[in-house]
């Protein structure tokens, strides 16, 4: 039977303490115990089903984490206060001073900055590679390499990672493959393709409303337990806890994700085709012109399409700025960072979400200064949206 993330979420029975169809929101920082020994056992991780303190674990966050694990097909999950909280907690849990990481050079700007700049404080080295060239990944691995890091669909160039191929390399060297799946929820299930740890910025498509910031780590029971260890766990000791009220809202939104991803993908496919017909350099995995189009098809769940992200290249940042300003005034969407919103968002990646990447590295990875990244919204009439964009393209 084909892995079905939407049905896995639907099958979960989560209800409140009074029979509420929505799980109760546990608005408490600390929890009481009827017996002192139970508190001691819970503190040391030896007591299942009990809660001690909300930075450690709370019922609302556990409901969301269990649903995300079901969606990803992992044994367990942990939720954090941001996507960067999920990324940094994971990398710091896996690495010690003197260790080494192999990472895709094309990755979210905040992630790149953490890898290239912040980890130097701990004498952790990072080798950046073209993740689409498996031989480069293999060649970059050293005896002290502790993980391979990539994104299922890279930000902002929309490259598709060969997850089974990367997993084979990681397994050969007995290290985990860590995959950020923020751009491709439902569409790609990295853990089912060999990834060991799956990360999310829940802020984006999963929540879908741009009204909160959150992240997630989906992995084995063993790894999640290590994150939560009161003595050595990065998620425990760094404290990136997600507020239960926000967690509850994301949990409800998760149940419509499969519907939303279909519409995001439908609209993006239409617009990508129109951009390409208009003679613009267009990057979208659903187009046969995309270098990893067939790879994407081999890894994706066909029900949810090729995703809501498009990139077009206007060659210069000045041209990109003019078009984005026109599109905002025409009501196409908003000139704003982030993605996964119900309205279309667009930004000039090199000057915004990838601005942490030095210009020479942007050129090395093939990031044009005129690249506009679109997060296509849930527009009902996408043909009408294209007409607005077409008018804006007229000089």
Maximal CA-CA distance, the chain: 74
Question: Pairing between strand 100-104 and 125-129?
Answer: parallel
* Residue positions counted in the chain: 395
pLDDT at 345: 98
Least confident piece of the model among 31-35, 94-98, 148-152, 386-390: 31-35
Crossing angle (nearest 10°) for helices 317-329 and 382-393:
130
pLDDT at 270: 98
Q: State how far the Cα of 34 lies from the Cα of 230, in Å rounded to an integer.
A: 22
- Domain 258-393 in the same topology as domain 5-254: no
Q: Is 29 exposed, middle or buried (0-12, 13-18, 19+ CB in 10 A)?
A: exposed
Query: Tens digit of pLDDT for each residue in 326-340?
Result: 999 999 999 999 999
CATH of domain 258-393: 3.90.1150.10
Query: Tens digit of pLDDT for each residue in 259-302?
Result: 999 999 999 999 999 999 999 999 999 999 999 999 999 999 99
H helical segments located in the chain: 5-10, 36-43, 59-72, 83-94, 109-116, 134-140, 163-172, 221-228, 234-238, 244-254, 257-277, 293-299, 317-329, 359-365, 382-393
CATH match for 5-254 among 3.60.9.10, 3.40.640.10, 2.40.160.20, 3.40.50.300? 3.40.640.10
Question: What is the average pLDDT across 363-367?
Answer: 81
Contacts of 172 (CB under 8 A, 6+ apart): none
Question: What is the average pLDDT across 80-91?
Answer: 98
Q: State how far the Cα of 223 lies from the Cα of 394, in Å rounded to an integer.
A: 53
Q: State how far the Cα of 179 lies from the Cα of 182, in Å rounded to an integer.
A: 9
pLDDT at 1: 61
Residue 352 has pLDDT above 70, yes or no: no
Going by pLDDT thresholds of 50, 70 and 90, the confidence category of residue 356 is: confident
Enumerate the domain spans of the chain. Answer: 5-254, 258-393
In this prediction the pTM is 0.95
């Amino acid at each position: 039977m084909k892995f079905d993330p939407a049905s896995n979420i639907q099958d979960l029975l989560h209800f409140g303490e009074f029979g509420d169809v929505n799980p109760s929101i546990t608005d408490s920082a600390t929890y009481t115990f009827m017996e002192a020994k139970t508190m001691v056992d819970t503190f040391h991780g030896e007591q299942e089903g009990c809660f001690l303190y909300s930075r450690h674990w709370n019922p609302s966050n556990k409901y969301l984490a269990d649903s995300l694990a079901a969606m990803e097909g992992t044994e367990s999950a942990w939720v954090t206060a941001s996507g960067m909280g999920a990324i940094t907690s994971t990398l710091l849990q896996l690495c010690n001073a003197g260790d080494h990481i192999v990472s895709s050079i094309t990755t979210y700007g905040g992630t790149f900055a953490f890898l290239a700049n912040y980890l130097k404080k701990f004498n952790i080295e990072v080798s950046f590679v073209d993740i689409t060239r498996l031989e480069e990944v293999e060649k970059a691995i050293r005896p002290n390499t502790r993980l391979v890091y990539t994104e299922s669909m890279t930000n902002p160039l929309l490259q598709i990672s060969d997850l089974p191929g990367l997993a084979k390399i990681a397994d050969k060297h007995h290290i985990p493959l860590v995959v950020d799946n923020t751009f491709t929820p439902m569409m790609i299930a990295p853990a089912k393709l060999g990834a060991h740890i799956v990360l999310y910025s829940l802020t984006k498509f999963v929540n879908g409303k741009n009204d909160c910031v959150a992240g997630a780590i989906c992995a084995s029971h063993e790894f999640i337990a290590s994150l939560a260890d009161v003595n050595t766990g990065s998620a425990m000791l760094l404290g990136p806890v997600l507020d239960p009220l926000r967690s509850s809202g994301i949990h409800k939104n998760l149940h419509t994700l499969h519907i939303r991803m279909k519409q995001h993908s439908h609209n993006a496919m239409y617009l990508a085709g129109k951009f390409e017909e208009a003679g613009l350099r267009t990057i979208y995995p659903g187009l046969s012109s995309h270098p990893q189009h067939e790879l994407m098809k081999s890894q994706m769940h066909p029900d949810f399409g090729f995703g809501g992200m498009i990139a077009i290249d206007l060659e210069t940042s000045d041209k990109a700025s003019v078009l984005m300003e026109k599109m905002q005034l025409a009501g196409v969407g908003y000139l704003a960072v982030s993605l996964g919103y119900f309205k279309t968002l667009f930004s000039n990646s090199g000057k915004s979400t990838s601005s942490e990447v030095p210009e020479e590295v942007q050129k090395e990875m093939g990031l044009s200064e005129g690249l506009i990244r679109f997060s296509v919204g849930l527009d009902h009439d996408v043909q009408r949206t294209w007409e607005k964009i077409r008018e804006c393209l007229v000089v």
